[in-house]
Structure 1
Amino acid sequence: MTMLTRVVEILETISGDLKEFMMLLQNCQPIHRPLATNIFIEGQMFGRHVEKQRIINFLLHDGGPSTGGKLGVLPIVGGMGVGKTTLAQHVCDDERVRNHFPIILYSNFSYTRAMARGEAVFVLGSKNAVRDAKKFIKILHVLKEKYLSKRFLMVFEDVDMGKKQMLEELLPFFRHGKRGSRIMITTNNRGVASLGTVQPINLKVMPHQEYWFFFKAHAFAGRDVEEDPRMLAAGNAIARKLNGSFFGAKIVGRVLKAHPNLRFWCKVLGSNIGGLSLLGDGIGYIADLAENLLPNYANICEVTISKTPYPSQTELASVVAPRGDIGFAKVLLCRSVLPLQSLYYTAHCSLRGPDYSPEFTKLEGSRFAHLTPLKKIFPKISNICV
């Protein structure tokens, strides 16, 4: 009892000291700590840690006799831009997964990247999309004897209903692999999930509070976010209009960071960035989003995805009008740094200068004919360059 009394006295003393300390703090001016610009390392996955662990548990678990040696297929289902590809690639890059599977194959049906343990990464296939199961099997046949007789992980990216039929023809080929082999599928179509042998991983849009944290790191560039309540409110409203799109946070945040003034932010808020479709492969969304941010003298002619940046390209926030009549610019819209590759989304734009006139354009003949009347040619999309 004496010991208990002593403990109570100590706690009361500490509590009393804390009251004095809190009173002292109330008389001090608050010092706001700015948001660090390097809060996210390039290529680092934001959130999705629970989903990642669920996937890894599926990949590493043999399943036991109850599975009958059946090839395990796990679908990852979610809308455009929620992070399916990012999640799948980070799972493949996890050390536990790399050590468990002698070979990991990652395919988007245009090319297949093969990562064999202890060997350099190599790419199979061509730049042209493979639309026939027999051709795909022919491409994979070079791996069958050396790798596919072992335990493997095969990942198919962006599977739609057309590719689902092709996968159904491919699955018997993969069932010859060693017990414990796995297949992962990423898709935005719930109908494709029926290929799974287990319940799918369903990715939803990030809750606003988590997404707001991600958006701030891109838009505020290390500035004190509480320095100007009006900027904070405008930024929050812009983030809500983007509906949890990671592409949106990167593209819009990059432009806002370059123009840290309330008038510009309100202009972005009043644009149509929130009324865009999140369906499809993401290119349409990215192009439409960029059109709302480009100056009125710029028009998107083409959007390309490449694995390396163009030598001469400009930032979206740095586009300027040409001095003469017509100019052209390659505008970097967004960069996705992933464990297995980096992707650069670039808009090829035509720019109208002060001397531009439709009549002059027509006189120039075929060189500029396709630009009249400088309307967006959409969608004209190039494949990923391997």
Structure 2
Amino acid sequence: MNTLVPAAITDIASRLASSAIKKYWQPPDAEVILETLSRLLLRVHIIIEEAEGKRLANEGMLLQLQMLIEGMYRGNYLLDRFKYPALQEDTKEVSYVSLSSKFNPAKRLCFSSHRKPLFSSSLKELQGIIATIEKGISDMTEFVVFLRNYRVVHDQPRYTYSVLENCIFGRQIEQEQVLSFLLQTDHLGDEDLAVLPIIGPRKCGKSTLVEHACRDHRVRNHYSSILFFRENNLKDVNMSNLREYAVVKHQNYSSSKRLLIIIELACDICEQTWVSLKSLMSCSAPGTKIIITSRSNEIESLGTTAALRLDLLHPEAYWYLFKTLAFGSRDTDEHPRLASIAMEIAAEYRGSFLAAYIIAGLLRDNFSALFWCSALKHLRAYVRSQLRLLGDHPNNLLRKDQSVHCLRFAEASYPLWMSNYYETDSCPDRAPNISDIMLGGDTPRGRFEVLGWKSRMAPYYSYMICCTTEAPGHAVCRKHS
């Protein structure tokens, strides 16, 4: 009995305390949370812009920067998801959260009743990312100090629309790792060649990353020749006609005789071919290096250094890219309905770079709620039909070189199939543009190629798509080397 009384008193006291907390404690003000996150993101944005204007070489600093960038993507994604809730497909009605700020006092925060069930969990997510970013910023104190000692590479901020199409989005850390490998002067020995494997799924940016690094002036001064091989160019290669089978990306007669060999594979490489190639390269000057890219994990064993792995952009980073491309220099807070639609469209494309540039370009050129709503409606119907017909998402099928229907925003008298999209140094004359076809423009009959998108950054590739209006099957078009 003596032990039960204190226990009962403790239980009653805890219940009273809990009741008092529920009665008098109020959740944090949502407006304050959103403004806090917005200000933190602005600080992070400034640090990242400053860092991306410098040529960083320290691995620890690069890791810190990568963590901060990921926090920025995550923070922006959660903030936008909260401000621009998903459209209700049946009513197409939505309520918006406009961020109040002393920079724009006209904006006010307002919530509708149907968002209350989501309100508590959303605030917890926002508070969690605020804590993460605050810790990230506090850990960057020494980083910011050290940053002053690094040479400025470019003066223009990278995270604006005017320069986004001219940079490798989300790949700065990987680019610095490639440059560090290429410019490292200590050698493994005369009998060994330094080999860097780069592994990743199709169209995740492997070739663009390598090309961009090879265009760095320090790399071009470091190597006498930069030779590029595709898989089918490696057969019967010998030292006497090495350049005959390669694309010469760079020639520098004033530098040493060391070579940089770039090999682009779809999967694995024949062991005999690899042994022969390494034997040929052993005759070149010390410091010759090889970069080999592939979708296969098997090439990891060929490396003399840890493999660099790339993946498709995660949803938070992809939304940042898609939003910037779709809105350009426009303020998304001034167009909350369009921002909600854009989030839905970006989610449907699952990290496809090519889709981001094609579809975001169409949205930017047709900046109206009517067109954007229609585009989302057609896209959802298109994805559902492809899943029902072919059993997989069209982006996944295209990465496997399988045929899918072309998305159209206008009625068409006959279906158009696409497959086997690839990059080439030059666009064929008079090739139709995929955007025009999607909007209802004239479509050729039979088998043909269309221009998907032309890059504004090195290597300035034109991304071509093989199409056919014939019976379903794989459109076979020639690839350009």
- TM-score (normalised: structure 1): 0.67
In structure 2, do the counterparts of structure 1 residues 258 and 165 end up closer, same or farther at CA, with 3 Å as the change threshold? farther
Q: Give the structure 1 partner of residue 134 of structure 2.
A: none
Q: Report the 3-state secondary structure (helix = DSSP H, G, I; strand = E; otherwise coil) of the residue aligned with 2:401.
A: helix
In structure 2, do the counterparts of structure 1 residues 39 and 74 end up closer, same or farther at CA, with 3 Å as the change threshold? same
| Deviation of 1:40 (Å) | 1.8
Q: Give the structure 1 partner of residue 417 of structure 2.
A: 300
Q: Give the structure 2 partner of residue 313 of structure 1.
A: 431
In structure 2, do the counterparts of structure 1 residues 89 and 283 end up closer, same or farther at CA, with 3 Å as the change threshold? farther
**What is the correspondence of 1:1-386 to structure 2 with a 5 Å cutoff?**
25=102, 28-30=105-107, 37-42=161-166, 44-64=167-187, 67=189, 70-109=192-231, 129-130=232-233, 132=235, 134-135=236-237, 137=239, 139-140=241-242, 150-163=257-270, 165-260=272-367, 261=371, 262-272=373-383, 275-276=393-394, 278=396, 282=399, 284=401, 288=404, 291-293=406-408, 295=410, 296=412, 297-300=414-417, 305=422, 306-319=424-437, 320=440, 331-350=450-469, 374-384=470-480
Rounded Cα–Cα distance in structure 1 between residues aligned with 2:463 and 2:335: 33
Q: Report the 3-state secondary structure (helix = DSSP H, G, I; strand = E; otherwise coil) of the residue aligned with 2:164.
A: coil
In structure 2, do the counterparts of structure 1 residues 191 and 215 end up closer, same or farther at CA, with 3 Å as the change threshold? same
- Asked if 2 retains the 8 angstrom alpha-carbon contact of 1:242 and 1:248, the reply is yes
- Asked if 1 retains the 8 angstrom alpha-carbon contact of 2:262 and 2:290, the reply is yes
- Asked if 2 retains the 8 angstrom alpha-carbon contact of 1:157 and 1:186, the reply is yes
- Asked if 2 retains the 8 angstrom alpha-carbon contact of 1:59 and 1:97, the reply is yes
In structure 2, do the counterparts of structure 1 residues 242 and 139 end up closer, same or farther at CA, with 3 Å as the change threshold? farther
Q: Give the structure 1 partner of residue 27 of structure 2.
A: none
| Deviation of 1:28 (Å) | 3.3
In structure 2, do the counterparts of structure 1 residues 291 and 69 end up closer, same or farther at CA, with 3 Å as the change threshold? same
Q: Report the 3-state secondary structure (helix = DSSP H, G, I; strand = E; otherwise coil) of the residue aligned with 2:293.
A: strand
Q: Report the 3-state secondary structure (helix = DSSP H, G, I; strand = E; otherwise coil) of the residue aligned with 2:407.
A: helix
- Asked if 2 retains the 8 angstrom alpha-carbon contact of 1:149 and 1:176, the reply is no
Rounded Cα–Cα distance in structure 1 between residues aligned with 2:179 and 2:278: 21
Give 1 or 2: higher helix fraction.
2
Question: Any idea what the Cα deviations from partners look like across 1:152-210, whole Å, max 9, x if unmatched?
Answer: 11111135224565223311111112111110011110011211111101112223222
Rounded Cα–Cα distance in structure 2 between residues aligned with 1:40 and 1:191: 34
Q: Report the 3-state secondary structure (helix = DSSP H, G, I; strand = E; otherwise coil) of the residue aligned with 2:283.
A: coil
Stretches of structure 1 lacking an aligned partner (at least 5 in a row) = 1-22, 110-128, 351-373
- Asked if 2 retains the 8 angstrom alpha-carbon contact of 1:304 and 1:381, the reply is no
Stretches of structure 2 lacking an aligned partner (at least 5 in a row) = 1-99, 109-158, 247-251, 387-391
- Asked if 1 retains the 8 angstrom alpha-carbon contact of 2:225 and 2:260, the reply is yes
- Asked if 1 retains the 8 angstrom alpha-carbon contact of 2:468 and 2:475, the reply is no
Rounded Cα–Cα distance in structure 1 between residues aligned with 2:178 and 2:343: 32
The CA RMSD over aligned residues, in Å, is 3.8
Q: Give the structure 2 partner of residue 124 of structure 1.
A: none
What is the aligned residue count? Answer: 310
Q: Which 4+ residue blocks in structure 1 deviate beyond 6 angstroms?
A: 141-144, 146-149, 325-329
Amino acid of the structure 2 residue aligned with 1:211: Y
Rounded Cα–Cα distance in structure 1 between residues aligned with 2:271 and 2:363: 40
| Deviation of 1:84 (Å) | 0.5
Q: Report the 3-state secondary structure (helix = DSSP H, G, I; strand = E; otherwise coil) of the residue aligned with 1:292.
A: coil
| Deviation of 1:151 (Å) | 1.0
- TM-score (normalised: structure 2): 0.55
In structure 2, do the counterparts of structure 1 residues 258 and 106 end up closer, same or farther at CA, with 3 Å as the change threshold? same
Rounded Cα–Cα distance in structure 2 between residues aligned with 1:27 and 1:76: 46
Give 1 or 2: higher strand fraction.
1
In structure 2, do the counterparts of structure 1 residues 47 and 104 end up closer, same or farther at CA, with 3 Å as the change threshold? same
In structure 2, do the counterparts of structure 1 residues 193 and 381 end up closer, same or farther at CA, with 3 Å as the change threshold? farther
Rounded Cα–Cα distance in structure 2 between residues aligned with 1:312 and 1:142: 30
| Deviation of 1:238 (Å) | 2.3
Rounded Cα–Cα distance in structure 2 between residues aligned with 1:55 and 1:49: 10
- Asked if 2 retains the 8 angstrom alpha-carbon contact of 1:82 and 1:203, the reply is yes
Amino acid of the structure 2 residue aligned with 1:29: A
